[in-house]
Amino acid sequence: MENPEVIRYTADIVVINDDRNILLIKRGWAPFKGHWALPGGHVDAGETSLQAAARELAEETGVNVRMGDLEFSGLFDTPDRDPRGRYVSAAYTVTIGSDVIPTAGDDATEARWFSLDDLPANLAFDHERIVTAAVYG
């Protein structure tokens, strides 16, 4: 019998404001330390990916949203999407007001808004693909 592959479960969230900007965090930890990424992280024991998305957003950016406002935007499971091993991410999208000011926390060293037309090059992981799927379908 083969050894089963270990798969880790994560949630990512695409936050768009009324001005069509995207909220990104600068990662404080490897992998991709110093790169811009979507807020997100591991789904903890006993929680759903929806709960994890809302929790991670609050922890990493100080932005609180109602889970009922989050819309599922896709499941991302390409085997090499994370250099640490096999990670499967449920991605969600939410739109919030342009007056919301994020504050970096947890493993984020910075949190800020970027224009959809001027996103940083080389987003961490496959986050450019997640943004494209969430915004443009």
Contact between residue 125 and residue 81 where contact means Cβ atoms under 8 Å apart:
yes
Note whether 16 and 100 are within 8 A (CB): no
- State how far the Cα of 135 lies from the Cα of 116, in Å rounded to an integer: 9
- What is the set of active-site residues? 110
Return phi, psi of residue 71, to 5°: -115, 135
Do residues 113 and 36 touch, judged by C-beta distance below 8 A?
Answer: no
What is the C-alpha to C-alpha distance for residues 127 and 15, in angstroms, rounded to an integer?
12
Burial of 9: CB neighbours in 10 Å, binned 0-12, 13-18, 19+: middle
